[in-house]
Amino acid sequence: MAKQSEAQVVLRLDRITKTFGALVANDAVSLDLHKGEVIALLGENGAGKTTLMNILFGHYTADTGSVEVFGQELPPGNPRAALAAGVGMVHQHFTLADNMTVLENIVLGTQPLWRLGFDRSAARARIIKLSGDFGLTVHPDARVGALSVGERQRVEILKALYRDARILILDEPTAVLTPQETDDLFATMRKAVDLGLSVVFISHKLHEVMAISSRVLVLRHGRLVAEVLTEGTDRHVLATLMVGEEVTPPKVADSTAGPALMRLQNVSTADQGSAPGLKSLSLDLRAGQIIGLAGVSGNGQSALADMIGGLTTPLSGTIALENSEPVNWTPRAAVSAGIARIPEDRHKTGTIADFDLTENAILENYSEAPYSRKGWMNWQKAEDFSKHIIDTYDVRCPGPQTRIRLLSGGNMQKLILGRVLEQSPSIILANQPVRGLDIGAVSYVHSRLLDARAGGAAVLLISEDLEEIMALSDVIHVISEGRLSPGFPRGSKTAAELGVWMAGHGFDEEATNAA
């Protein structure tokens, strides 16, 4: 990377202010970005990071302030001007057409795809060259709907590079990526910087900020509160700057497990395309216990979560709830049984985008008291509940009538967590519960899961973060290709030993020993 003092300033934001009603999203924020530099924009959920970048890209118009790219002031609220100036943005939530190919998605908007003069072979050749130059392996003719999350993100980055982006904004790019996909993304970013691109990396993951950036700018409640060189700081200092106070992880005391609230016996489910189903899986979810499920993404975690939540039924095996077997296992039956779901995908299965916060807060129990009586809705009770979640879980939003699609991913997750945890459920299915949350919110969610355990709930924690699994779980299982390992008490296995099971080798050894 070029030295900051010598490098050209390619981007300058000057005293950007943006309000939404009474909410001040950005408060006189100024920053510079230099050629061949990665700066990290760090902050809590709702600190104003995404709003600031949406102003830069022209999606929002600032109340006051200006944006300069390569010395030229951009007209406000004009994404085409930002694109023409060399700014590319990869949003936290992808904007791809599933029914189109990679090539069609990348070229879309640059020229008509089906005109006679469109040179598809030239477009394919350019995409292949960009893929090779930046390490973004993806087939131009692949259907986007069939791609993994990591592959879709590569397509989004290629879209920006195809348009000759010289400044790349990555908004929470690792929120839905596996650790392996994150490593691939960072390799791409380093190649991009070596080729002269400049990157704004928006995140709240401190270890990633330390790994990839040269400077860190910290936003808190819409204001720029600190700017530090990455090499001169550490994760503890950044956490304190971000939250404004010391962040202490909750202490995990030993617990005594109670009776099995849910028992799965030799359960198998159908494969879903290339994703494996469950293979004769047996598992007890006990009162007062957190069961951690570790594994590489796509090894049956979704199949297990769907089945527990009533979305699928087993091909074979049994589901028992406190020694009774439900006749028809459906989502309604699961909710009635006291199973609360924190779903993996907060957009597709956790919320309804055009519903407001109040409507989303009561999605699973809108037909019950106190929100409904004899078919009539009590919207005041519903709004009171929504306000309680907003206040208790620090959901940054203009108010309970806000459409949930307008919130940041982390604030959407907070609303879902409040909806689940405030119902005092007996069984909690926590599937990636802190994905997209900042360090302060993570600590709070973990403490609430521990409180639920102390109150007698059974918690199934599904996470791709092995540190989280090892820290919170009373018993850890590993899932690989739909198979479940034996239960390992907390502290009995190292990360490396769990990694052997995650790679499938522990199952092979177990089968050999059994034979």
Q: Which residue has 């849910």 as its token pair?
A: 262
CA dihedral for 237, 241, 244, 247, sign (positive or negative)? negative
The percentage of the chain sitting over the pLDDT mark of 90, rounded to a whole number, equals 45
Residue 196's CB: how many other CB atoms inside 10 A? 11
CA distance 200 to 40: 6
pTM for this one?
0.70
Indicate the residue type of 390: I
List, run by run, the mean pLDDT of 10-residue segments along the chain (515 residues): 65 95 91 94 86 91 95 92 91 80 86 68 90 86 82 87 90 72 85 91 86 94 94 91 83 89 94 84 96 87 92 91 81 89 85 94 89 90 95 89 86 90 90 82 87 94 88 94 94 88 77 47
CA distance 242 to 352: 30
Q: What is the CATH superfamily name and number for domain 250-338+426-515? A: P-loop containing nucleotide triphosphate hydrolases (3.40.50.300)
CA distance 333 to 106: 43
92-115 burial by CB neighbour count: b if 16+ within 10 A, else e? bebebeeebbbbbbbbeeeeeeee
CA distance 89 to 153: 11
| Architecture label for domain 9-243 | 3-Layer(aba) Sandwich (3.40)
**Whether residue 400 has a cis bond before it, omega within 30° of 0:** no
- Asked whether 275 and 249 are in contact (CB, 8 A), the reply is no
Q: What are phi and psi of 323, to 5 degrees?
A: 75, 10
- Asked whether 29 and 48 are in contact (CB, 8 A), the reply is yes
User: What's the pLDDT at 2?
Assistant: 46
Three-class SS state of 302: helix
Q: In Å, how far are 147, 158, 172, 176, 466 from 150, measured between CA atoms?
A: 8, 13, 13, 8, 19
User: What's the pLDDT at 515?
Assistant: 42
User: Model confidence over 401-452: pLDDT tens digits?
Assistant: 999 988 877 788 889 989 998 888 999 999 988 877 778 888 888 988 999 9
User: What's the pLDDT at 85?
Assistant: 94
Domains of the chain, residue spans: 9-243, 250-338+426-515, 351-424
Q: In Å, how far are 30, 72, 216, 282 from 75, measured between CA atoms?
A: 17, 9, 27, 60
Hey, what are 502's tokens?
């995650």
CA distance 360 to 418: 11
* ∠ Cα 427 428 430 (to 5°): 155
DSSP 273: T
Do 250-338+426-515 and 9-243 have the same topology in CATH?
yes
Q: In Å, how far are 60, 110, 224, 356, 393 from 106, measured between CA atoms?
A: 24, 9, 34, 33, 39
Residue 197's CB: how many other CB atoms inside 10 A? 23
Q: In Å, how far are 4, 60, 242, 442, 475 from 225, measured between CA atoms?
A: 20, 22, 8, 21, 41
